[in-house]
């Protein structure tokens, strides 16, 4: 088994012998030489980091992304390792890289944002339930049993159990159980265009009330009864062209008043 040159051997036969390089690294000042040696050490230990990343495959993150996170942990390990303490680098790097990957899962892969305290409860509840499952065959462990095992209150256990469902989310295309093709997305509401119409009506109402009675009647027949210009003309005993001119004039007057009122409100807010 290859060693670092100190009393503590590496756990794996293929671990590179970098003891001398680390001893030299701590003596170098910041600069190109130190950065080059640091990069060399990271490259030498990168296969180990990738092996650790491989253990976490199949948990919702791609292997490539896990390798990047593991490499970041490896860089932190290289920067933080002190060979004077007499321990092999690998015994320091493995928990550092593993911790970085676990932190990545904890902080970035939750579908819903969950406070750190609740995430910790979730992990403790999950661990306790898994351990108890071996002693309670045929039934899931109770909340009280999990609380006793994890040294938590029953309320904390319930909070942790709720957090277990926050790590992933169902697709909106997922079919609701017990239905015939009804999806979660089918139950979502959508913006009601009627609200915009209400706002517009309230805005123009004062302007419409100031119009002459005949113009108000024409607008009412046109937009509330859906009558054509020719139908309105026949009812009022005027020509269709005259109705068209009155409508255009009404539109222009109402538009001008609405814009003037909006400008006045803006000036009042600015003042």
The 3-state DSSP class for residue 9 equals strand
Instruction: Supply the pLDDT for residue 3.
Output: 39
Secondary structure E strands in the chain: none
pTM: 0.41
Instruction: Supply the pLDDT for residue 66.
Output: 87
What structural domains does the chain harbor?
19-108 (1.10.1740.10), 116-187 (1.10.10.10), 193-270 (1.10.10.10)
**Tens of pLDDT along 211-255?**
888 888 998 898 888 899 999 999 989 999 999 999 998 888 888
128: tokens are 């306790």
Instruction: Supply the pLDDT for residue 74.
Output: 93
Query: Per-residue confidence at 17, pLDDT binned at 50, 70, 90?
Result: confident
Instruction: Supply the pLDDT for residue 44.
Output: 92
């Amino acid at each position: 088994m290859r060693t670092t040159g100190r009393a503590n051997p590496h756990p794996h036969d293929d671990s590179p012998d970098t003891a001398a390089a680390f001893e030299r690294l701590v003596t170098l000042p910041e600069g190109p030489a130190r950065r080059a040696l640091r990069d060399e050490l990271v490259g030498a230990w990168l296969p180990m980091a990738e092996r650790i990343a491989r253990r976490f495959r199949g948990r919702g993150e791609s292997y490539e992304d896990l390798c990047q996170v593991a490499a970041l942990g490896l860089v932190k390990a290289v920067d933080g390792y002190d060979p004077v303490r007499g321990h092999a680098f690998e015994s320091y790097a493995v928990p550092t890289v593993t911790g970085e990957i676990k932190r990545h899962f904890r902080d970035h892969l939750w579908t819903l944002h969950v406070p750190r305290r609740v995430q910790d409860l979730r992990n403790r509840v999950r661990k306790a339930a898994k351990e108890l499952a071996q002693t309670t065959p045929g039934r899931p462990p109770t909340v009280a049993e999990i609380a006793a095992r994890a040294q938590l209150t029953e309320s904390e256990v319930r909070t942790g159990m709720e957090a277990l469902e926050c790590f992933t989310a169902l697709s909106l295309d997922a079919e609701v159980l017990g239905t015939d093709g009804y999806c979660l997305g089918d139950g979502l509401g959508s913006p009601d265009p009627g609200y915009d119409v209400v706002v517009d009506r309230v805005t123009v109402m004062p302007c419409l009330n100031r119009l002459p009675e005949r113009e108000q009647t024409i607008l009412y027949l046109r937009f509330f009864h859906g009558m054509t210009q020719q139908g309105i003309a026949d009812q009022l005993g005027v020509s269709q062209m005259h109705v068209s001119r009155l409508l255009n004039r009404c539109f222009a007057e109402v538009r001008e008043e609405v814009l003037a009122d909006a400008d006045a409100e803006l000036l009042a807010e600015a003042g």
